[in-house]
Every structure is written in structure tokens, then in C-alpha cells.
Structure 1
């Protein structure tokens, strides 16, 4: 049993290294671009709000308020989209008996999670250096929120991978579903300050809860009336179980 687990861990590690070369290439430009994308997104919104004379919805730093949401959304979107193509792009490798479809999912999850740990550290660290952020009040909540984002992104990405394998037209449906998330996840507003009718709709978005969790981790006096930690965690668990079970029972059909 332990030998089998160790073997699969080595397989996932090897696949992760392969994914790293495929994603970023052999130069440092790919790594720099991965860091630059969320920085550009945050910078654009800060500049827009500055030009129209808007203040930060909470706290003194527009950049920090936006970063807590943008980095969470970027991590989720990267997982859901990248994992969707994990089976098809690694199809040639799946002919090897020791490599299974879930291994490709775990490899991409590992690479993306580690990449965003670096991105988050650099972005938040940079904001602290220039005086636009202070040390997080509750760093453990930041880690829990980050892990939950990975968990949810993995569940959605695994479901997407199963559906995309059936029909590549699913990628267009996924784009339509994911597009409104930017406006429904509290990027530039405080959900608790909205009318109850709006909150009743927005609270069905699991990413909104994770963004609120992240902000509670950074701000000492941020209290969310919307946050329900159990909701994104339970939804992620259900999606992961469904995806892995579906992959298992359909494996012989695809062989």
C-alpha cells in the first residue's frame, strides 16, 4: 500500500515538472508574466477608481482591497480552466499503466498552487513594502481561504475535465458561466453593505465567501455578515467526489 502511494507521488511529481516546462518554458519570461497578470489587473482597477475619485470600499488601500479578490479569482480561474484540458493534453502519457487521469489533475493543481503561493507572497509583500498594506491580522485565515480556493478550483476543474473530454464545446459553456464571477464576487464592493435582496442572490456564489474569508484574514476589523465557511468547503468536497467517482467508473469505457 505504502509502495503504491509512494509510486503515485513520484508520478505526480514527474508530471508536475513536465507541466512546469510546458507552461513556463525554459526562460524566466513565463514566470514573470504569471506574476505580472494579477499586478496589471489590480493596477488597472486602482487607476480607474483613482481617476473617478473613488475611495477604497474598506480600509485605506485600494490596491489591497482589490488584491484580496483578484488573486483569489485568478487562482480559481486558472485551476478551473487549466484542469479542464488536463486529460486531452496528456492523452499520449495516459497509455502508460502507471499514469492515470487523476495524476494529471493533481500535477496541475500542485503547479498552480505553488505558483500562486509565490505570486501572493510577492504581491502582498510588495504592497507592504510601499506602505499600501500591513501585516495580515489573521494569517491562518488567509491560508485556509487559499486552500479552500484550491479545493474548489480542483473540484470545478475536474468536473470540467470530464465534460471537456466528452465534448470540447463545453469550453464555451464554461466561459459563459465563469464570466459573471468578476462582478458577483465582491471585487469592488462590500457584500454586507448591499441590500438583503442582492445578498440573497450573491451568497450562492462560493467564491464570494472565499473573498470575504480572505479579507477577514487581512483586515483586523473586517466582519462579514455573508461569510459561510462551510458552503464553499462542502461544495468543493461534493464536486471532487463526483468528478473522481465519474472518472473511475468511466475509465474502462475510455480505455
Structure 2
């Protein structure tokens, strides 16, 4: 799931950074708090339901929780949805590839 998500987001970022110089800086600022919001430093299970529902929109929460199941015996997060993660990966990867295919000549010229 992590590799598919990285590929999808990476393809979209490849296009966005090539077309818009400011996107690289904006992406760095937006992803700074991602370590805290992805469930790496804190357990999403221990949060109140209203916060958990908001954080479950982040596909990295699902990847981190699924990774924890491999390390901790008995840890069973019921909220993990591989379909959601692969869906986000597929959509972002497809959009990134379509835009790269459409604008590749413009990107190479600049």
C-alpha cells in the first residue's frame, strides 16, 4: 500500500512541480505536520471519535496502522481500508500520468 501511494502521489507531484515552481515549497509546508497527522507518533485508536473520523481521510493512517499489525501481535485496527488507499493511489497516479502525457512537450521545453 505504501509503494502504491508513493507512486501515485509522486507522479502527481512530478507534474505539479514541473509546471508550478511554487508547488515544491507549498508541498514542503503542507507535509510538515504529516508525521503527527499520520498516526506515526500517536495512536489513532486512542483519539476521540470526532478526531479519528477526520484523520481517517489521510491514507497514510491506514498504511501506518497496517504496518503496526505486522509488528504487534493482537493489534487489529478495524478502520484500515486497503481499497481506500489503493483507490487514492490509482486516482492520483492516473491524473499525474494523464497530465504528464498531455504536457510533456511543454515541460521539456521549459
Q: With structure 1 as the length reference, what TM-score do the two structures score?
A: 0.40
- For 1:130, the equivalent position in structure 2 comes to none
Distance 1:253 1:184 in 2: 36
| Residues 38 and 64 in structure 2, CA contact (< 8 A), matched pair in contact too | yes
Higher-RCO chain (CA-CA 8 Å, sequence separation at least 6): 2
1:25-174 equivalent positions in 2, closer than 5 A: 148-174=1-27
Q: Can you give the 5+ residue segments of structure 1 that lack an aligned partner in the other structure?
A: 1-147
Q: With structure 2 as the length reference, what TM-score do the two structures score?
A: 0.89
When Rg is computed on C-alpha atoms for both structures, the one with the higher figure is 1
| Runs of 4+ deviating beyond 2 Å | 251-255
| Residues 65 and 80 in structure 2, CA contact (< 8 A), matched pair in contact too | yes
| Residues 199 and 226 in structure 1, CA contact (< 8 A), matched pair in contact too | no
Q: How many residues align?
A: 108
Shift, 1:224, TM fit: 0.8
Q: Which of 29, 32, 35 is matched with 1:182 structurally? A: 35
CA 199–159 in structure 1, closer or farther in 2 if over 3 Å, else same: same
1:239 is paired with a residue whose SS is helix
| Residues 5 and 89 in structure 2, CA contact (< 8 A), matched pair in contact too | yes
Q: Give CA deviations for 1:142-177 in whole Å, capped at 9, x if unaligned.
A: xxxxxx111111111111111111122111110122
- For 1:113, the equivalent position in structure 2 comes to none
1:169 is paired with a residue whose SS is helix
- Is 2:103 the partner of 1:243? no
Shift, 1:225, TM fit: 3.0
- For 1:230, the equivalent position in structure 2 comes to 83
Distance 2:36 2:79 in 1: 16
Distance 1:195 1:220 in 2: 24
Q: Which of 40, 61, 72 is matched with 1:208 structurally? A: 61
Distance 1:187 1:253 in 2: 39
| Residues 191 and 226 in structure 1, CA contact (< 8 A), matched pair in contact too | no
Q: Give CA deviations for 1:81-100 in whole Å, capped at 9, x if unaligned.
A: xxxxxxxxxxxxxxxxxxxx
